[in-house]
């Protein structure tokens, strides 16, 4: 049963984003599709309810660039929940063409060429065209591109079933609220990989108690957003949810489908069911073995043989001789012995974060001005906001020339003199050039409070070249932290080839921080390497890489990664106060030969 979606700003933005992509696939000129994409950005950052502005005919006051056709699309989306243009574009575009866009190195032009020259409409067809050498023979492709496409297909098809955590969490939280508000429900929690905050998830798992399980199940399978029912029983249901996917700078927009499972249990079963369905499987095995060693049996409903009552998960851990293990650490990687020895770390929390360093403004490729970003950071409760706009050679992102850098410093000084409750820091996201040198000279670099160094070009270098390149940058005395260490885009682009172990060891030796890039499309470092970095003694820093006011809040996704990596507040640089950070940054600069 498809219930009409509520057209909030994010859904409207998603529809515009999708129209832009589909128009490009149809070969319409770039300018017109870009206009739709620009509107998507504006809708996303609009603070008023766009649907309401459309209804009252005042939307053009907020988005002056809207033309006649875009206004018509908006009008239809708001009044009918769908748009003729979007429906028409969807009908004319093979779904396989959208999937092809997820392959790194393939854009709309290449998809069109493959379709027109070879009639390719699906990923399997594309794979066989590559395998028979037809793609390499096409103008503008070649053997190298063909090999890359094959790799990309393998990547997209193996990862394609999973959904990014931020998107799943958004839907899961809304669903959980509905479950909790349902009459007769006394307890309900998210379980599974969503609760453990894995970076991608297969489905949403919810565990609940209810006075009438059948009524809750019947309601659950008919809620808005449910596209179909995958299974329905007395105490369990599984549905397929469909929603507009969130937009954001690195996403493709479009539709998102994900399964959601609800399990209804009795109040006495609840802690056991929650624990079991939170997993991970590996963690469950560890717990079951501990129960067995005590002569008990642990399953999803009870701890058989144990006589004391368990009302929540902590009681179960206690019964097994363990301290409570936070869900993020339940991956079967030694958390049970640490819990037994009382050696579990006290994990960093979002409320510990007092500032962020890697953020963009309209000076480079951000959507908001310096002042708007500063006010939003203050609103979020941050004490300091570091600005890290792009450097000069990254012209595609409007990188700053030295002159523009100095101009921004003046603006920062002026804002710092004027604004209360937030301190702006002068930083840069300085490109690491292919040979490992930096995009600004030392004299200019010395004027920043700190430097984030990142790789944005020449991803195709060999593993040795890339490792040397990054390590050379880390050796540079003015580099404070390494940005998005591997360049990966979740479910879309693999990390570039790089020896991270060597990079982390170099960072540990030079005292350079490594960023946990918290953009939910990156999460780079990932939690596994992050935990290794901690072991090696690398100081980590969580950065949202915000390109708009809204994206400042991304740092919470980085906190999730840090928690999965067992990090405490002391091991994350930006839990320091503004005074501590200013003192530390000044000290770091003093130790540099200028
Ligand atoms: P995913 O793949 O992102 O959905 O990851 P999970 O961990 O949410 O996996 P899921 O949804 O298949 O199952 C939820 C939890 O239920 C899982 O973390 C542990 C538990 N579970 C499911 N199947 C088994 C099993 O065969 N053995 C054990 N020990 N636990 C299981
Ligand atoms: Ca799951
Ligand atoms: Zn970057």
pLDDT digits (tens, 9 = 90+) for 236-275: 999 999 887 665 555 555 668 899 999 999 999 999 999 9
Ligand 1 site-directed mutation target among 195, 199, 284, most atoms within 8 Å of CB: 284
Pick the last residue of a domain from 158, 191, 206: 158
CA 203 / ligand 2 centre spacing (Å): 4
pLDDT tens profile 130-165: 989 999 999 889 998 898 888 878 767 665 578 999
CATH number, domain at 367?
3.20.20.140
Q: Is 203 in the pocket of ligand 1 (CB under 6 A)?
A: yes
Q: Are residues 168 and 153 in the same domain?
A: no
Query: What residues make up the domain containing 568?
Result: 350-590
First to last CA, the chain: 67
Q: Is 386 in the pocket of ligand 1 (CB under 6 A)?
A: no
**Across the chain, which distance is largest between two alpha carbons, in Å?**
74
- Ligand 1 atom 28: residue of nearest CA: 281
Q: Is 355 in the pocket of ligand 1 (CB under 6 A)?
A: no
Residue 59 CA to residue 46 CA, distance in Å, equals 10
- Name beta bridge partners: 167: none
CA 103 / ligand 2 centre spacing (Å): 25
Q: Are residues 398 and 438 in the same domain?
A: yes
Q: Is 24 in the pocket of ligand 1 (CB under 6 A)?
A: no
Whose tokens are 């005919």? That residue is: 57
CATH number, domain at 308?
3.30.210.10
Ligand that lies nearest to the alpha carbon of residue 196, given by its number in the listed order: 1
Across 572-589, average pLDDT: 96
User: For the chain, what is the domain count?
Assistant: 4
Pick the last residue of a domain from 329, 344, 359: 344
Please determine, for residue 373, whether its predicted confidence score (pLDDT) is greater than 80.
Answer: yes
Q: Are residues 573 and 479 in the same domain?
A: yes
**What is the per-residue pLDDT for 161?**
74
Q: What pTM value is reported for the model?
A: 0.79
Would you say residue 3 lies in a domain? no
Please determine, for residue 4, whether its predicted confidence score (pLDDT) is greater than 50.
Answer: no
**What is the per-residue pLDDT for 1?**
31
Q: Are residues 295 and 246 in the same domain?
A: no
- Name beta bridge partners: 188: 208
Strand 450-454 vs strand 481-482: parallel, antiparallel, or unpaired?
Answer: parallel
Report residue 305 as tokens: 């043989």
Find the radius of gyration of the CA atoms of the chain: 25
Q: Are residues 147 and 137 in the same domain?
A: yes
Q: Are residues 411 and 538 in the same domain?
A: yes
The more confident residue out of 128 and 207 is 207
CA 191 / ligand 2 centre spacing (Å): 7
- Ligand 1 atom 27: residue of nearest CA: 281
- Kindly give, in sequence order, each residue whose CB lies less than 8 Å from that of residue 589, ignoring residues fewer than 6 positions away: 446, 478
Would you say residue 479 lies in a domain? yes
Q: Is 289 in the pocket of ligand 1 (CB under 6 A)?
A: no
Ligand that lies nearest to the alpha carbon of residue 284, given by its number in the listed order: 1
Q: Residue 2 — very low, low, confident or very high, per pLDDT cuts 50/70/90?
A: very low
CATH number, domain at 206?
3.30.460.10
DSSP symbols for 429-450: EEEB-TTS-BSS-HHHHTTSSE
Would you say residue 217 lies in a domain? yes
Q: Are residues 240 and 310 in the same domain?
A: no
pLDDT tens profile 282-318: 999 999 999 999 999 999 999 999 999 999 999 999 9
Q: Are residues 334 and 294 in the same domain?
A: yes
Q: 582 in helix, strand or coil?
A: helix
CB 298 within 8 A of CB 288: yes
**What is the per-residue pLDDT for 88?**
93
Strand 163-164 vs strand 200-201: parallel, antiparallel, or unpaired?
Answer: antiparallel
Report residue 569 as tokens: 């507040």
Q: Are residues 410 and 499 in the same domain?
A: yes
Task: Report residues near ion ligand 3: CB below 5 Å.
Answer: 454
Q: Are residues 424 and 568 in the same domain?
A: yes
Please determine, for residue 464, whether its predicted confidence score (pLDDT) is greater than 50.
Answer: yes
Pick the last residue of a domain from 158, 186, 205: 158
Q: How far is CA 302 from CA 208, 286, 298, 311, in A?
A: 15, 16, 6, 11
């Amino acid at each position: 049963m498809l219930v009409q979606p509520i057209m909030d700003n994010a859904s409207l933005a998603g529809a515009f984003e999708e129209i832009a992509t589909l128009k490009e696939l149809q070969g319409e000129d770039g300018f017109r599709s870009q206009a739709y994409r620009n509107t998507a950005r504006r809708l996303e950052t609009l603070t008023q309810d766009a649907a309401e502005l459309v209804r009252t005919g005042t939307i053009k006051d907020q988005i002056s660039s809207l033309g006649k056709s875009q206004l018509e699309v908006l009008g239809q989306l708001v009044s009918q929940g769908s748009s003729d243009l979007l429906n028409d574009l969807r009908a004319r575009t093979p779904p396989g063409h959208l999937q092809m866009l997820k392959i790194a190195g393939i854009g709309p032009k290449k998809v069109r060429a493959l379709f027109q020259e070879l009639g390719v409409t699906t990923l399997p067809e594309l794979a066989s065209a590559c395998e028979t050498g037809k793609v390499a023979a096409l103008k503008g492709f070649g053997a190298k591109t063909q090999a890359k496409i094959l790799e990309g297909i393998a990547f997209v098809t193996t990862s394609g079933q999973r959904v990014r955590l931020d998107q799943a969490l958004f839907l899961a939280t809304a669903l959980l609220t509905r479950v909790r508000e349902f009459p007769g429900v006394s307890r309900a929690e998210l379980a599974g990989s969503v609760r453990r905050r894995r970076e991608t998830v297969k489905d949403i798992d919810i565990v609940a108690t209810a006075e009438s399980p059948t009524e809750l199940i019947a309601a659950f399978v008919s809620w808005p957003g449910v596209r179909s029912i995958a299974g329905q029983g007395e105490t369990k249901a599984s549905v397929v949810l469909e929603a507009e996917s969130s937009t954001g700078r690195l996403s493709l927009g479009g539709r998102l489908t994900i399964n959601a499972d609800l399990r209804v249990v009795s109040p006495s079963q609840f802690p056991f069911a929650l624990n079991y369905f939170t997993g991970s499987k590996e963690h469950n095995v560890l717990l079951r073995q501990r129960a067995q060693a005590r002569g008990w049996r642990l399953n999803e409903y009870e701890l058989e043989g144990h006589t004391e009552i368990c009302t929540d998960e902590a009681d179960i851990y206690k019964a097994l001789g363990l301290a409570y293990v936070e869900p993020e650490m339940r991956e079967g990687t030694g958390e049970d012995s640490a819990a037994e020895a009382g050696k579990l770390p006290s994990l960093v929390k979002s409320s510990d974060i007092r500032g962020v360093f890697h953020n963009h403004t309209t000076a480079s490729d951000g959507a908001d001005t310096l002042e708007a970003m500063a006010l939003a950071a203050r609103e979020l409760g941050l004490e300091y906001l570091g600005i890290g706009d792009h450097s000069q050679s990254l012209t595609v992102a409007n990188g700053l020339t030295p002159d523009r850098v100095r101009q921004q410093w003046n603006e920062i000084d002026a804002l710092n003199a004027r604004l209360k409750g937030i301190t702006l820091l002068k930083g840069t996201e300085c490109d690491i050039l292919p040979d490992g040198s930096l995009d600004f000279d030392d004299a200019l670099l010395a004027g920043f409070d700190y430097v984030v160094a990142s790789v944005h070009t020449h991803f195709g270098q060999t593993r040795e070249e890339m490792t040397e390149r990054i390590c050379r940058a880390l050796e540079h005395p003015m580099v404070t932290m390494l940005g998005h260490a591997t360049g990966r885009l979740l479910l879309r682009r693999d990390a570039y080839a790089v020896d991270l172990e060597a990079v982390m060891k170099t960072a540990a030796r030079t005292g350079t921080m490594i960023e946990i890039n918290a953009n939910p499309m990156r999460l780079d470092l990932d939690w596994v390497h992050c935990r290794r970095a901690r072991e090696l003694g690398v100081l980590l820093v969580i950065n949202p890489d915000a390109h708009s006011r809204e994206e400042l809040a991304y740092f919470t996704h980085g906190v999730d990664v840090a928690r999965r990596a067992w990090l405490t507040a002391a091991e994350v640089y930006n839990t320091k106060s503004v005074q501590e950070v200013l003192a530390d940054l000044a000290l770091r600069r003093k130790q540099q030969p200028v």
